[in-house]
Each structure stands twice: as C-alpha cells, then as structure tokens.
Amino acid sequence: MSEWTDRFTGIIYRWDSAWDQAVRGQLAAELGTEIAQAHDVRAKADAAACFWQRYYERVFPLRFGREEQTREEQLIIGGAPLFEQSEPGVIVLRHNPLRSHFLDEMRHPPLLPSQTDPAVLISDHHLAVAALLNVALRAQGASDELVHEARLGALVHELLNIPDVKAQLTEPAHNLARYLLEGGSCPDLFQPYQTLIDAIHSGDAASLGEEPLIYIVGLAAQRIKQYVFESPGLPEIRGASELLDDLMEKLADQIAQKLGPEVILQAAASTLIFLAPHSTEQGMHWQGRLKADHSTEQGMHWQERLKAEAYRKTHIAFFAAAVQPTPLAQLLNDYSGAMSTFLQAIERDRYHAEQPAFETLPFELRCAFCKTRPAEHYVYAPDGEMEPACPACNEKRQTGRAERVKKAHQIKQWLGNKLNLSVAPSLNALVPATREHKLIAFIYGDGSNFGQIVRKLRSLAHGLQWTHRARLLVQAATALALGKGISESEANFQHLPFEVLVMGGDDFALFAWGGIALRFCQHFLELTDLEFQKGNGEAFIPKDTPICFGVGCLISDEKAPVHRTVHFTESELMKSAKKLVKPRGRGVVDFLVAPTAEQIPADMEVYRKTHYRRHTVSHEAIPALTVSLSLRPLTATELDALLQCAQQIVRQNYLGNLQRLTEPFVNQPLLAAMLHYFYQQTRVDRRDEHDQRTTLFTVLNQLQRALFESGATPNSAQPLLPVSELARALTGETANQKHWFAPLWDLLEIAKTLR
C-alpha cells in the first residue's frame, strides 16, 4: 500500500499498486495526446504546463463531489462526501471511475504524489521545477530553444517511462527528463547549467550563491468594494466584478504567451503573481504598445506596465504592484520568507500609489450612474431612456450585460447545465415574482487561518497546491451550495436567484434571494468544513486550529442601499463570525434579518445588547440571569437544524403561532415570557393532539433533538426551550463559557426568510 499525507489537513490517503498504475497510465495517455497536437518544442511545453494546471480541477475538492438525487419527483443538486474513513484520519482510495473535469459528479480525484518529493502532488513538482528552470535559465542567458527544451523535460519527467509520453518528446527534452528521473550524467546540452538544474530539482540550494536573481512580480486590486459598489445598479456592480476578472485573465494570458503558463503562481481574486527572469535581455510586448525596455531597471518598468494596463481596462480602479528581486536560493530554502518580503513590497506600493484624478467643471454634464465624473457617452438605462455616462461606468455597464456574464454560466456548467434560467437583469429580479416579501441577501465569506497556512508553506510546490486548492474549493462549494438552495426551494424562478461577484482565492461575495440565502450558507459551510476536516498526520498548522470560513449574511429588502448592506455585512457580521471560529471549532455564519433598510442597525454591538440580551431581577431563591435570545453565530449543523424546523413551521402555517410565542421574550420581562411559554405548552397538552399549537410544540421538540445531534446542546434530556444553560461563547468572547439561551428568536427570523 502506498500513502500520501495531505499537509493541509493531516488526512492520510492510501491506495494499492493497481490504483497507482491506473492513475499514472491515464494521466500519461492524456498528457501524451496534448503534447502530440503541438507543432514545436515551445508549444509542447506550453501544452504540458496547461495540462498540469487543469489537473488541479480534477483533484480538488478532494473530499466531496456533485451529487444529483430525485426527491419527491424533484431533482436535488448538491455536494456529498466522496469517501468514508476506514479508520480515524485515514481514507483508502478504491477502484472507482476517475474525474475527467471539474466537479465530475461523484467520480474520484486522480490523486498522484510526486516520486521526487512525496509530500506534494505530481503537478506541484512538475510546475514548480519548470517555472524555476524557466526564469533561472533565462536569467543566466540561455537561449530560448534551450529554455523550452528544459521546460518540456521538467514537465514530463516523472511520466517518462510510459510510452504515451516518451514518444512525443524531442531528444534534448527526453535526455533531460531521463536525467531528472534517474540521475546519472547530465546531458551535454545542459552541462553548463547542471548546478542550477540539480538545485532546483532537489530543492537544495546549498550549491547556489546570491545568483541567479529572479523577479517575483505582482498586481493586486485595492479597495475593491469602492470600485465594484460605486453605483447601486446591478449591471454596473456585475460589470465591475467581471472587469477585474477579465483583466487578470488577460494579463495572465499575455505573460503565459511570453514566458510560459507555469510561471504564473496566482491569477484569481483580483490578484496576479508570477515569476519573471532578472535579465536585461527579456522584455514583454503587450498588443504592440508596451515595448521591451533594456535598462537595468526593467523590473520597475514592468511594475508600471502592469498598472498602465490595469488603468486602461478599468479607468478608475486602484491597484498596487511590486517587483521583488529574489535570489533563487531564498525561494528554494525560505519560500514563505521570500513571499512575505514580496507582499510587504505590495503593501508599500499601496500606500504610495496614486489613483487617477478626474475633474468635473460646473457646466459639464455629470454621469447619471456615479454622479461624480463628467459624462462622455449616452447609454440606455433599464427604463429605456438615454442616460449620460462616464467612460468607467459605460465600460462597467457594457461588461455587465446579462448575456456576457461569465460566473453565472460557469456555475450552470459546473452543475451539469440543469439550471435552465436566465441571468437576472436587476436585483429585484432575483426574487421570484410570486413572492410578496422582496428580501435580498448579501453574503460575504472569508477564510479563517488561511494566512497562517501561507506563512507555513515550505516550498513553491506547496504554494501552488494551496493556491489552486483554495480557489477551486471556493468555486465548488459556492456552485454546489447555490444548486442545493435552488433545487430544494419550492419557489418558481423566472431568473437565476443569485449574482456572484467574487468567487476565488480565499473569499467570496454574492447577492441572492433571501429565501435560499441561509440554505446556501449552511451547505457552503458543510462542504468547506468537510474538505478541511483534520486528521492525525503531519500538517502545517496544529490540529486544534480550524481551517474554515467565517460567513456574514444580511437579509433585507430590495430598497436597502447597496453600500450600506455590503459594508455592514463585511465589517459587522463576517467579522463577528470569524472571531468565533476557534471556540466553535469549525466554520460559522452570523446573519441578520432586517425586513426594511431602516432596521439595519447603526451599531451591531448595541443591537446585540438591546435585542439579543434579556435580564432578570434576582428574587428570593431565583438569582439574576442574563439570557441570550440567539445562538448566533451558527455552525452548519446548527443552522441545518433550525432551517428544517423553520421549514416545517412555514409549510404547516404556524408562523403566527411562533411569533406570538416569541414576542413576550422580546417585549416582556423574561420571567413573564417563560411563564407564558409554559402556560401555552400546558394548555395544548390537554387538547386534542391535532391542535395547531400541539403540532408547533412537537416541531420545537424536534428542534431540540436536532440541536443535540449537532453538538449545540450537551444532552437530549435537558430541555432547550424556553431557556437552557449551554457552554457556548458569545460574540466578543474567545472561549466557551456557560450562558443561558432562549433561541426562539433565531427560529422566528429564519422562518420569516422562508415564507
């Protein structure tokens, strides 16, 4: 049996020789086909690099896949676990069909570790070695032909002995691949660079000095919310988000065409990071306008080129860029330190960067959308009238037209093209036409302890794996959670009830109809918690440090100002969720239901104290108590229990009963509210079992059992309602402490979003 330890979770994967041969043979056959279609050595190397980059889409997410079920004649699409642990922290890979693309139903990932470095995947090793050889050889003055031969050999060497790959190689690439795989004598063509090649392949920089230097180059959008949410219309919001994605994709394509796809370390979440040669003989040409500069300050000119291209595309967005000369030895010996130095350079540029300045004279016509810059175009508004627009807003609107939206089409494709719905033309259109209450949710999630992982990365290979894994996990969990929320809903949709703005890197942001928002949050957390469930193997961070997401969700009406909802969700709800990740031990969501924009609190901390906390006065043998009316933030299992209970209440039309049972806890002294609860419960116990309130209390009892199973309550015998003492951290606390809870308020707010 062979095994591989996932260094991010400590889970150990085991398989037999037949699995290894099947995976290796399938990958080699596909790689050989890709290379055979290329016409020269450079094209072959590019094809191999792209193959390994796409390989990540077949491997991640590791722990779950896309499952389709038929429930009561309704197709349910969502995520489901791929494996059962044969023993704690150990997964045995069976002979199941292998994935051929991203979210390929419930097929298994073609997991294959590197032979040279078993701690990483074969794609990590091939891409890392090829990227470093690429830029280091260029920095040493090697010819383009030699660089491409080295790239090709590095990208295939661990599959060299399989005929499908071997037959497609040029002789120099084959000789180098043989040397990297088996050792022996370095091929004559590469002997001048043997020390460099050996150091890069082994990861041991002891034989290297301060040379060669290579550039770590990056461009990162700053103050993204200011740019994306500058105007409230959905076409402009959608267009701004798409423009940032298009920009990074375009720049990445241009860099890949010039240097090779493997040098790109990250091209997601409005951030581009790549390696480039430290040489006065290498330049970049973008659309014929940006010509090579052969000065000794070439790196700084690349920094200005990136910004110039970014401003040409967006007109007004704020960017920071940096070019950090780094010794190759440092990248090999201290990868995390090298990347930390680069990120500090990005931060320095952020504080010194200048944004484009616009002047609008008093007599000039202003843009109807941003209302600040001078208008230069007329565009059609949603009502059919012509409106003046500035170049930036015009670009956003043109990009944000419904038929050009990429993220929605991507999600539909990942879900098997089972959602035959068009993209919503406005935020109002996210809500089904038959729904009386027009509730729109803004959901913002961010990874917790992701930064700690980045600081612990040991090599470029691990860095590549983490970057791709984080991006693909967010994309998969977002798509499957949306699919689950939509397919489980009983509403009739005219348009897709969501608008994804950010989906990649370590965060996501989207608008959604309020009726599916909390189910989305529950399933998203469920899937991401599963992916990062800890094992007992060696890992980068301690077992008791959770890798998960903190999610904020604000549900309000369609008239709520976009700026207000976005700022409140990020600064209040998401941050409070992330602070309680550690005591909960998993991902959590904090949400607020504000039926009107006026009900969004100005100060959430004051709101919690006045709305969630109820106090009793000590009386004889009864001590004074402080009771929280909310269990928030909630884990996925807790939210699932509340959602199931709320759904039953709405289906059976008991929402009014629940509201009358909850109101005394909000408006009356706590002891009076408890007395009211017991009085109503006693009355219904004496009535016919088919009485409405009898059924309501039956549902509430089911909630108690579900919360016990989720771990929210310590035992099933202890009554949860009307009040219960639980060891649970409140907002602002860093560890679990005993408090009293009466969670009827949570249940009522969730039920209101489902009606």
pLDDT in tens, 568-618: 999 999 999 999 998 888 999 999 999 888 999 988 888 888 888 887 766
- Cα dist. 614→628, 632, 718, 734 in Å? 6, 15, 21, 22
Residue 440 makes CB contacts below 8 A (sequence gap 6+) with 427, 430, 431, 511, 512, 513, 514, 555, 556, 557, 558, 560
401 vs 379: CA distance, rounded Å: 12
Which region among 4-18, 159-173, 529-543 has the lowest average model confidence (pLDDT)? Answer: 529-543
Task: Say whether pLDDT at 293 is over 70.
Answer: no
101 domain-assigned:
no
Q: For residues 474 and 500, is the Cβ–Cβ distance under 8 A?
A: no
Confidence category of residue 694, pLDDT binned at 50, 70, 90: low
36 vs 16: CA distance, rounded Å: 31
Determine the pLDDT at residue 352: 81
Average pLDDT, the chain: 87
Determine the pLDDT at residue 713: 62
555 domain-assigned:
no
Strands (DSSP E) contained in 375-452 are 377-380, 386-389, 439-448
Determine the pLDDT at residue 294: 39
Give the global pTM: 0.92
Confidence category of residue 87, pLDDT binned at 50, 70, 90: confident
Confidence category of residue 384, pLDDT binned at 50, 70, 90: confident
Task: Say whether pLDDT at 292 is over 90.
Answer: no
* Structural tokens at position 498: 């969501």
Task: Say whether pLDDT at 622 is over 70.
Answer: no
How many residues does this entry show for the chain?
A: 755
Q: For residues 555 and 533, is the Cβ–Cβ distance under 8 A?
A: no
Task: Say whether pLDDT at 285 is over 50.
Answer: no
User: Residues 383-400: what's their mean pLDDT?
Assistant: 88
Whether 31 and 157 map to the same domain: the answer is yes
Q: For residues 672 and 656, is the Cβ–Cβ distance under 8 A?
A: no
DSSP designation for 580: T
Strands (DSSP E) contained in 390-450 are 439-448
Determine the pLDDT at residue 280: 41
Task: Say whether pLDDT at 222 is over 70.
Answer: yes
Local structure of 196: helix, strand or coil: helix
The DSSP line for 314-374 is HSS-EEEEEEEEEEHHHHHH-HHHHHHHHHHHHHHHHHH---------TTSPBPTTTSSSB
Local structure of 671: helix, strand or coil: helix
In this structure, what are the phi and psi dihedrals at residue 340, rounded to the nearest 5 degrees? -65, -40
User: Residues 296-313: what's their mean pLDDT?
Assistant: 78
In this structure, what are the phi and psi dihedrals at residue 535, rounded to the nearest 5 degrees? -115, -165
The CATH number for 268's domain is 3.30.70
- Cα dist. 426→34, 382, 386, 709, 753 in Å? 42, 9, 18, 41, 20
Whether 156 and 300 map to the same domain: the answer is no
Determine the pLDDT at residue 620: 65
Whether 343 and 281 map to the same domain: the answer is yes
Determine the pLDDT at residue 282: 44
User: Residues 425-453: what's their mean pLDDT?
Assistant: 89
User: Residues 670-694: what's their mean pLDDT?
Assistant: 73
Determine the pLDDT at residue 690: 55
658 domain-assigned:
yes
- Last residue within a domain, chosen from 304, 329, 352: 352
Residue 60 makes CB contacts below 8 A (sequence gap 6+) with 109, 468, 469, 472, 473, 476
Whether 194 and 301 map to the same domain: the answer is no
- Last residue within a domain, chosen from 183, 202, 221: 202
Task: Say whether pLDDT at 39 is over 70.
Answer: yes
476 vs 504: CA distance, rounded Å: 10
Determine the pLDDT at residue 123: 97
Determine the pLDDT at residue 441: 95
Q: For residues 425 and 234, is the Cβ–Cβ distance under 8 A?
A: yes
699's torsion region: left (phi>0), alpha (psi -120 to 50) or beta? alpha
Determine the pLDDT at residue 143: 93
Whether 271 and 224 map to the same domain: the answer is yes
755 domain-assigned:
yes
645 domain-assigned:
yes
* Structural tokens at position 19: 């699995």
79 domain-assigned:
no
407-435: pLDDT as tens digits? 889 999 999 888 888 888 888 899 998 88
Q: For residues 369 and 389, is the Cβ–Cβ distance under 8 A?
A: yes
User: Residues 290-313: what's their mean pLDDT?
Assistant: 68
Determine the pLDDT at residue 300: 60
Determine the pLDDT at residue 688: 55
627 vs 616: CA distance, rounded Å: 8
Whether 326 and 178 map to the same domain: the answer is no
402 domain-assigned:
no
Task: Say whether pLDDT at 683 is over 90.
Answer: no
User: Residues 278-287: what's their mean pLDDT?
Assistant: 49
Determine the pLDDT at residue 677: 86
Whether 13 and 122 map to the same domain: the answer is yes
Whether 217 and 152 map to the same domain: the answer is no
Structure-model confidence comparison of residues 736 and 266, the more confident one = 266
Confidence category of residue 283, pLDDT binned at 50, 70, 90: very low
Domain membership of residue 629 as a residue range? 603-755
* Domains of the chain: total: 3
Task: Say whether pLDDT at 717 is over 70.
Answer: no
- Last residue within a domain, chosen from 337, 352, 367: 352
Residue 2 makes CB contacts below 8 A (sequence gap 6+) with 14, 15, 16, 17, 20, 113
Whether 263 and 344 map to the same domain: the answer is yes
Confidence category of residue 689, pLDDT binned at 50, 70, 90: low
406 vs 399: CA distance, rounded Å: 10
306 domain-assigned:
yes
Whether 195 and 264 map to the same domain: the answer is no
* Structural tokens at position 475: 């994309």
Structure-model confidence comparison of residues 738 and 750, the more confident one = 750
Question: In the chain, pLDDT over 90 holds for what percent of residues?
Answer: 55
Helix or strand run (H / E) with residue 635: strand 634-635
Whether 183 and 221 map to the same domain: the answer is no
Whether 694 and 729 map to the same domain: the answer is yes
Structure-model confidence comparison of residues 616 and 227, the more confident one = 227
Which region among 463-467, 605-609, 717-721 has the lowest average model confidence (pLDDT)? Answer: 717-721
